[in-house]
Amino acid sequence: MKYQALSPHYAIAPQINPQDVATIKTDGFGIVICNRPDGEEQGQPTADSIRQACAEAGLEFLHCPMNGPETRPDDVARLQKLLQGDSRILAFCRTGNRSSIFYQKATE
């Protein structure tokens, strides 16, 4: 699994799978954010399957789905608060682009 750091505390990745969660934890992340709506593509893992893997690994999981570049203000506010903490965050979507936009909106 590969990811790109946008800051010391925030990185983006393309679609992850539940079996990637162990590596995510080993790499020092404490929070996983899914910016992808369920059912966007056939065969895509559900947010709940990744949520369960995160819970089993002791990671926090948030589902903040985005349709294109549109974000919900409450999701952006939640990310702003998380960015003030010490936990490293890995956000993902299909390609990582929406997760990058999500970060940009939270740091404007």
pLDDT beneath 50, residues of the chain = none
- pTM given for the model: 0.96
By residue range, what is the domain housing residue 80? 4-106
Q: What is the pLDDT of residue 1?
A: 82
Query: Looking at the 3D structure of the chain, how many domains does it have?
Result: 1
Q: What is the pLDDT of residue 38?
A: 96
Q: Which helix (H) or strand (E) segment is 77 a member of?
A: helix 73-83
CATH number, domain of 59, equals: 3.90.190.10
According to DSSP, the β-strands at 10-13 and 4-7 are: antiparallel
